[in-house]
Structure 1
Amino acid sequence: MSSALLVSTGVIALAEIGDKTQLLAFLLATRFKKPIPIIIGITLATLINHGLAGVVGSWITANVDQSVLRWVLGASFIAMAVWTLIPDKIEDEETQLATKLGVFGATFITFFLAEMGDKTQIATVAMSAHYNDVLMVVAGTTLGMLIADVPAVFAGDKLAEKIPMKLVHRIAAAMFAALGVATLLGIGSNFKL
């Protein structure tokens, strides 16, 4: 199994815990109690959103000088580590669409929009540029989102109360920081020192 897939899955699964899109999954699940359309909406929105992010990462790899890219990506991963430590809140208007579009439509649109500029989307861009393997990174980031969000859909608020959010965020932040340091040192990527 590729390291791009494994790292992308693990980092995103941890980073997603407590993220606004996981909070959105909790909210939609408790409001509509229809897990299948919610999960399908999450999956499609994530695939498209992270697919676009992966393509952007690949474009960056092809068009930015490797020595500059290494420093930008290393700094980006370290910034992601800091960002992961800041808890997300969800806006209620992100769920207002459900009354007009149905459960699937509301989930798809709110997840797609909530992921725009979110730390997991930016991490997908950075990991795609780091590993230069769009398919494995997008598969991993999508799988990581589902690992974190599907239990949220089925368990709702009961699960959130039992997860030590601060610990999970610290572990995810440590993983992003490690990726940043590894990138800066040229370890585990295509970058040369």
Structure 2
Amino acid sequence: MEAFLVSTGVVALAEIGDKTQLLAFMLSARYRKPWPIIVGILAATLVNHGLAGMLAEWITEQFDPQAIAWVLAASFLLMAGWVLVPDKLEAAEEPRWRRIGVLGTTFVTFFLAEMGDKTQFATIAMVAQYQHFGAVVLGSTLGMMIANVPAVLLGDRLAGRLPVRAVRLVAALIFLGLAGFAAVAALGIAL
């Protein structure tokens, strides 16, 4: 249960102001069809974070637990800094695939926007740390939905009202705490 709750909270906080949340705002304003957008976000996140979780499981089978613990500590420390950097949605990321409809456009753009994103890396790190693929992938997906569904449903009206700086700071502190736990685990393995 801890893996599910932590991954939900971390991803939901990390997603505030992220480029995929900006993408959710943009799709909502452009298409004004919230349900296909929400389903597209859900499907893209499950596939993307599922692949990230599978990569994490493979990594944990291939490498020494102490080395993984130190890499996790470093990864969470880097995530703490990364989450403080605001994302911007580049014009090139704007969907242009009108033939695949709102659902298809949302799926493709969200899947691609999540590739190499901080929430994807967070999913990899949490699966490696908790060793619970299903709980982390479901939790990180729920976190994405918690952050993005309101963006879809409220569109432009919500954009300027979130205390993004405070949310980023809380997310950074959580990642710092996870880095500390991973470092303590690495030291425990070494003893």
Aligned residues: 189
Which is further off, 57-66 or 30-39? 57-66
Residue of structure 1 in register with 2:182 after alignment: 183
Which is further off, 90-99 or 161-170? 90-99
What residue ranges of structure 2 are gaps of 5+ in the alignment?
Answer: none
What residue ranges of structure 1 are gaps of 5+ in the alignment?
Answer: none
1:118 lines up with 2:121 in the alignment: no
Within 5 Å, which residues of 2 pair with 1:1-193?
Answer: 2-186=1-185, 192-193=189-190
> In structure 2, how many angstroms separate the alpha carbons of the residues matched to 1:27 and 1:96?
10
Shift of 1:100: 3.1
Q: In structure 1, give the amino acid aligned to 2:176.
A: A
Give the % identical residues. Answer: 55
Deviations 1:39-68 (A, max 9, x none): 000000000000000011111111110111
Deviations 1:84-106 (A, max 9, x none): 00000002232232423211111
> In structure 2, how many angstroms separate the alpha carbons of the residues matched to 1:183 and 1:84?
18
Q: In structure 2, give the amino acid aligned to 1:93.
A: A
Contact in 2 for aligned 1:54/1:134 (Cα 8 Å): yes
Equivalent position SS for 1:186: helix
> In structure 1, how many angstroms separate the alpha carbons of the residues matched to 2:150 and 2:77?
28
Equivalent position SS for 1:162: coil
Shift of 1:140: 0.2
Q: In structure 1, give the amino acid aligned to 2:127.
A: S
Equivalent position SS for 1:163: coil
> In structure 2, how many angstroms separate the alpha carbons of the residues matched to 1:130 and 1:184?
11
Q: In structure 2, give the amino acid aligned to 1:77.
A: F
Shift of 1:5: 0.1
Q: In structure 1, give the amino acid aligned to 2:158.
A: L
TM-score, with normalisation over the residues of structure 1?
0.95
TM-score, with normalisation over the residues of structure 2?
0.96
Shift of 1:175: 0.5
Contact in 2 for aligned 1:98/1:107 (Cα 8 Å): no
> In structure 2, how many angstroms separate the alpha carbons of the residues matched to 1:14 and 1:127?
15
Q: In structure 2, give the amino acid aligned to 1:177.
A: L
> In structure 2, how many angstroms separate the alpha carbons of the residues matched to 1:98 and 1:161?
28
Contact in 1 for aligned 2:48/2:115 (Cα 8 Å): yes
